[in-house]
Amino acid sequence: MHSERNQEGASHFHGLPYQDQLNFVWQQGKLLEARRIPGFWLHLYSVNAFFVEMWVCQRRYDVTLVRVLEDLHELEPYVDKISLEGLLSDQ
């Protein structure tokens, strides 16, 4: 996950304004899984060569946080629900 391609894509993503980050995820991302924690839905997207987690407030139905998952351990809550094998080989 720490490939050069991933770092370049994540760096570009971090440099975008918030609304552009949202648009980028919605236009180019692939929704892999959604999970619920108290007060939020967490949507995991594959975007090019990196993963983005989008936090959606359950009460207001708006996105409150968009973050790039920097380390593989951050994918642990999703691993039992999705298969990353085919996805990672496509990257």
Query: Residue 30: which domain range?
Result: 4-90
pLDDT on residue 10: 86
Mean per-residue pLDDT for 43-58?
93
pLDDT on residue 27: 94
Buried-state track 14-44, b at ≥16 Cβ within 10 A, e below 16:
eeeeeeebbebbeeebeebbeeeeeebebbb
Mean per-residue pLDDT for 48-63?
93
Residue 3 has pLDDT above 70, yes or no: no
* Rounded distance between C-alpha atoms, residue 54 and residue 5, angstroms: 21
**Predicted confidence (pLDDT) per residue in 17-42, tens digit:** 999 999 999 999 999 999 999 999 99
Number of domains making up the chain:
1
Q: CATH no. for residue 8?
A: 3.30.67
Residue 76 has pLDDT above 50, yes or no: yes
Instruction: Give the pTM.
Output: 0.79
